[in-house]
A and B are shown apart, each in its own frame.
Chain A
């Protein structure tokens, strides 16, 4: 079963590999910096949605084994989010902290995006078995931060859009479904 997890890890690195290949072969278009940052951000969002999809899907008959990939998917999301944020700091603004600080204060999509990232970091840090044991029952409560983080991620995505909301609508519906399922299942269980 460890073999499967290793496979998912390797699959998770394919987008990064594609990006590095594109950089090397100079096929990332006229604005490679923008392309790289967008690409990593998109993948961070997609891995996050996949992470959130594990709990509903594992209720399906025969899908319970999916749970063993959940941590991995979450870490992949954080990994691409880290690349996304580093891309913004290093490639887009080359450590111009003054500009970055102004961005955080003035531009809501940056503010919200940074908040989402800051919520995801502790989840990654405490994803090890040792942290799980140390935190005990608080671990589960802490990791529910993924819900507000996912809403903030969606906000970051929507606020960035100038005019064409098609893709955001699709992701928004998927996220609403994934979070809605949780609300419904809590209500059903307590009712």
Chain B
């Protein structure tokens, strides 16, 4: 029988979207519990995280340092939208809905518009790059990201002659994201780069890590990774990329300008009012190690800052 309009259908018969989503969430978790009961808990974990990534070119950027275990990299996160404790984001990861996902690309670009995540990723071959990740809180990890150069993406949208900076925004969903119900930071989370930093070949957009799709708590489905800057620059769960003429407002900088600069390059020589930045604790190690200028990427990126006083532009 062909579909027919039901004239008896009244507005109150329609399931509200939130309720619909709640039911979906419940059914999903119920299904996973069922699967878990049959295959054991490890499979439950795998079912949640091992979504296929397609073809990945490995070894594009390698690092001769021990990789942080996946459990630590996905269990110890700063993602205030999902809670301010280090383990809150992994616990509340399912509060972030990543499907469907689209990204608005606007500002000083020749071809502005909204694009689905699938269309955004499609033309870019995925690469694995192992980077150091240095948090401003003086801990660090080594993470194999999967993604592609931000620069390649930006080229597709044809940055205009006035474009000087790139601004990013995280999803705003206070209904679901527990952290956004309170004004811990000004939501949505914002970050930004100078255009030449954004175009640098090391700067990447990640869609996965450890060969799998990004876990929600690590910024699924699309996040920035800028390995020579403190971790808070590498904004998670991006929904908007805007090319601008002016230096954009960034969240932590706006929250405490004396502590978090716009540049936020890893710099052991620039002291921070909270954490000694000369050394860091690599997750999994006991003794602290020396922090390297530009997080060890100075050879590649120091040239971006020639002539700049990095104690002033910290």
Contacts and interface: CB of A to CB of B under 8 A. Distances in A.
Interface string A94-119: 10100100110011110000000000
B279 interface: yes
Given A99-B278, A163-B185, A164-B84, A30 B76 contact: yes
A190 interface: no
Nearest to A32: B286
Nearest to B275: A107
A109 B272 CA distance: 13
Contacts of A96: 279, 288
B287 interface: yes
B84 A163 contact: yes
Contacts of A25: none
B184 A30 contact: no
Contacts of B45: none
Given A31-B86, A109-B274, A163-B185, A99 B279 contact: yes
B303 interface: no
A102 B276 contact: yes
B76 A33 contact: no
A94 B287 contact: yes
Contacts of B314: none
B124 interface: no
Contact of B72 (A30, A34, A160, A164): A30
A157 to B, nearest CB: 14
Interface string A72-108: 0000000000000000000101101001001100111
Nearest to B284: A30
A147 to B, nearest CB: 27
Contacts of A106: 271, 273
B283 A164 contact: no
Contacts of B76: 29-31
Contacts of B288: 93-94, 96
Nearest to B141: A30
Contact of A103 (B86, B256, B276): B276
Nearest to A108: B273
Interface in B81-98: 84, 86-87
B141 to A, nearest CB: 8
B57 interface: no
Contacts of A166: 182
B139 A164 contact: no
A101 to B, nearest CB: 11
A77 B62 CA distance: 48
Nearest to A167: B84
A164 B278 contact: no
Given A93-B288, A99-B278, A164-B80, A30 B86 contact: yes
Interface in B161-208: 182, 184-185
A162 B86 CA distance: 13
B212 interface: no
Interface string A29-64: 111011000000000000000000000000000000
Contacts of B184: 163-164
Nearest to A165: B184
Contacts of A102: 276
A29 B71 CA distance: 9
Contacts of B72: 30
A113 B84 CA distance: 22
A110 B72 CA distance: 28
A166 B255 CA distance: 17
B87 A29 contact: yes
A29 B281 CA distance: 14
B75 interface: yes
Contacts of B75: 29-30
B191 to A, nearest CB: 16
A180 B73 CA distance: 45
B311 to A, nearest CB: 15
Nearest to B78: A162
Interface string B254-283: 011000000000000001011010110101
29 contacts: A29-B75, A29-B86, A30-B86, A31-B76, A31-B139, A31-B281, A31-B283, A33-B281, A34-B139, A93-B288, A94-B286, A94-B287, A99-B276, A99-B278, A102-B276, A106-B271, A107-B273, A107-B274, A108-B273, A109-B274, A160-B274, A162-B256, A163-B80, A163-B84, A163-B184, A164-B80, A164-B84, A164-B182, A164-B184
